[in-house]
Amino acid sequence: MSTLFKISLPDGSVREVAPGTTPADVAAAIGPGLAKAALAARVDGEVRDIMRPFEGDASLALITARDEAEALELARHDYAHVLAEAVQKLFPGTQITFGPATEDGFYYDFAPKERPFTDEDLPAIEDEMRRVIARDEALVREVWTRDEVRAFFEKQGESFKAEWVMELPADETITMYRSGGWLDLCRGPHLASTGKLDPNAFKLTRVSGAYWRGDQANAMLSRIYGTGWLSKKQLDAHLVRLEEAAKRDHRRIGADMDLFHLQSEAQGSVFWHPKGFLVWRALEAYMRRRLDAAGYDEVRTPQLMDARQWERSGHWGKYRENMFVVPDEIPSTDDDAPVLSGAGDLMALKPMNCPAHVLIFKQGITSYRELPIRMAEFGCCHRNEPHGALHGIMRVRQFTQDDAHIFCREDQLIGEIVAFCDLLDSVYRDLGFDSYAIKLALRPDQRFGSDAEWDKSEQILRDAVAAAGRATPEYGWEELPGEGAFYAPKLEFHLTDAIGRTWQVGTIQADTVLPERLDASYVGEDGQRHRPVMLHRAILGTFERFIGILIEHHAGRFPLWLAPVQAVVATIVSDADDYAREVVAALTRAGIRAEADLRNEKINYKVREHSLAYVPNLLVLGKREAEERTVALRPLGSDARQEVLGLDALVARLQAEARPPDLQG
């Protein structure tokens, strides 16, 4: 008598099925609609092929295109296989290596037989991929032994795959996926057949070099990248976003506006030019006013601290590989001497400000009545990131956080988190972001502390967001299992920019570990010493990255209060030069950042040049304006529109428009 397997479904019902039954069979038994829509199965929590038979009692959830994240991941992995099959068909003798799904598509690394691939090869490969999809070959999972796989690939002349399979653990189940006559060593899972892919929902994007297993000592491979989606509509939207993102690239706009530059002698550290630093100063002054008004105290702490201090705080163990360490020793000036003897103590550049703030908190005795203490620092930190991970001013090694730590009693936590949420909301709106999402990152697998402590700390963050009235879909409220730091859960704030991209910038988390490690305490109402809770929080994250986001969000057209040059006074005739100087002086007196352009150039040339540098207001002066003491105002992007105003009226108008949002009446 054969035993039946009990398959429990998400609605709570249980079906009994014979061995050999697949999730596809269950879908078909439920109904033809579901059979058609089902792409894969989640069996006991694991995503599996829909055609893979059950191996015992199991829970089953069917995955359809509505489960977008899973469906995209599956489709992208399938596209990678289809790509490999197509390349081997078109270029016989090409060896296959690895081909994973990526954030927006897939890639596959090949060892070409004759020459590396180029972008010119891509259209033909795309056509061949469409033929593979049209054949609608079943993607069949087969369990092989290691030796069988090695023998197969050796016979095919596939030395990379043959090498790789022998490194897999001997006791691992090794699977091959067959698509028609084509086979790849792969863990899966996959869609049921190539025909489940939309032949018009992918595009090959570029070719680059990549080393076998990422090691420069190994063979150079040809990597073909593609973007892959569930529908043509999704693909088209993605391509428009890419184009839009390229137009807004902060590195290009930063150069056009002369804001900053980077160079290899200071990897990941920004050279802020005068105009870029004007943006920084305007943003910093704004943040400082907001923090002052919200009851924060600003401090400044050392860049370098003894390695032993970092050991006490726990960073030396956890964070050392990201820290810049320097010897506490004066190098010898003797030509022959080694640069350093190596006998001195070590110091480290701070990768974060937290321990230094605890050291300030620990000076003197703090009473419960003095809490909360909100300690802010525009803290310049260094983290040693690999060169390859750096990106413009968005991902850097030297950065300045809008950091603060709130030391408080447990009974003050909710109130402080609510106040933080309100401040952050108002700052984002002031900076031109109407939409952001709040997410709660919950306990990770590897963590300190008991489950009871985690239950409590997660609940406090949940309650605080609810108390702030923002645990709602409008605020994208969502909980992210497993994403918290090892010592505490955290709230994350993700901005949505003008083209729908999201950027995690703000965070707040409640920490009891660091006050404990560094022995911070306050005297309670009972006269006893107690540990304060430490809230780590930031609104912008870092100035560097946030300014990068502002550039891309506003596409270079900063709100007037943040624009580095708020007005350029351009003359048509040299007769207006003196008057132009007078106009610039009047604007400067009114606090407006203005420059004169008195060059002997055609006015259209000047207009074009300042438009390309995103100058928000161009003030054009000819002979007539000079005589009548007026100015012709041309706001950026309104080439045809021009308004003539008296000088005083113009100054008053720009002054009002350039006032930062927190100082608007």
Residues near Zn ion (CB under 5 A): 186, 354, 536
Nearer to Zn ion, 403 or 597 (CB): 403
SS3 of 590-609: the string is CCCCEEEECCCCCHHHHHHH
Nearest-approach distance from CB 546 to Zn ion, in angstroms: 17
> How large is the angle between the packed helices 413-430 and 274-293, nearest 10 degrees?
140
Peptide linkage before 515 cis (omega within 30 of 0): no
Q: Of residues 52, 350, 354, 439, which has the active-site annotation?
A: 354
Of 49 and 497, the one with the shorter C-beta distance to Zn ion is: 49
- Closest CB to Zn ion among 290 and 405? 405
Nearer to Zn ion, 186 or 576 (CB): 186
> β-strand 297-298 against 40-43: which pairing, if any?
unpaired
Catalytic residue among 443, 536, 545, 606: 536
Residue (303 or 496) nearer to Zn ion, CB: 303
- Other Cβ atoms within 10 Å of 370 Cβ, number: 12
Listed residue (343, 324, 323) closest to 332, CA to CA: 343
Residue from 403, 425, 497, 511 carrying the catalytic annotation? 403
Q: Which is nearer to Zn ion, 25 or 402 (CB)?
A: 402
Residue 609: which residues within 8 A CB-CB, separation 6 or more?
none
Nearer to Zn ion, 25 or 184 (CB): 184
Known active-site residue 421: no
Smallest gap from residue 158 Cβ to Zn ion (A): 14
Between 439 and 536, whose beta carbon lies closer to Zn ion? Answer: 536
How far apart, in Å, are the Cα atoms of 414 and each of 313, 410, 467, 468, 600?
A: 26, 8, 8, 9, 63
Query: Is 247 considered catalytic here?
Result: no
Considering the complex, state which of residue 58 and residue 354 has its C-beta at the smaller distance from Zn ion: 354
The residue with its CB nearest to Zn ion is 186
**CA distance from start to end of the chain:** 84
CB of 520 to Zn ion, least distance (A): 13
CA angle 70, 74, 80 (to 5 degrees): 145
The nearest distance, CB 457 to Zn ion, in angstroms, is 16
Active-site annotation holder among 401, 412, 509, 566: 401
The least distance separating Zn ion from the CB of residue 654, rounded to whole angstroms, comes to: 40
Element (H, E) at 68: helix 68-90
Q: How far is the CB of 190 from Zn ion (least distance, A)?
A: 7
Between 176 and 568, CB nearer to Zn ion: 176
Min CB(542)–Zn ion separation in Å: 13
Q: How far is the CB of 538 from Zn ion (least distance, A)?
A: 8
Indicate which residue of 248, 275, 374, 490 is catalytic. Answer: 490
Catalytic residue among 76, 250, 383, 634: 383
What is the rounded distance in angstroms from the CA atom of residue 410 to the CA atom of residue 406? 12
* Given 42, 405, 537, 606, the catalytic residue: 405
Strands 58-63 and 325-328 turn out to be: unpaired
Closest by alpha carbon to 194, among 302, 102, 78? 78
Catalytic residue at 536?
Answer: yes
Helix residue ranges, H only, 248-331: 250-256, 274-293, 307-313, 315-319
Q: Which two tokens stand for residue 40?
A: 């894969």
Nearest distance, CB of residue 186 and Zn ion, angstroms: 3
Residue 354 designated active-site: yes
- To the query of whether residue 383 is one of the catalytic residues in this protein, the response is yes
* Total number of residues shown for the chain: 665
Among all chains, which residue has been given the structure tokens 């863990």?
A: 187
DSSP for 107-170, please give it: EEEEE-SSS---GGGHHHHHHHHHHHHHHT-BEEEEEE-HHHHHHHHHHHT-HHHHHHHTTS-T
Closest CB 502 distance from Zn ion, rounded Å: 23
Locus of tokens 């063979």: 219
How many other C-beta atoms lie within 10 A of the C-beta of residue 22? 18
**Burial degree of 222 (CB within 10 A; 0-12, 13-18, 19+):** buried
CB 7 within 8 A of CB 58: yes
Which pair of structure tokens corresponds to residue 444?
A: 């990770």
Active-site amino acid positions: 354, 383, 401, 403, 405, 490, 536
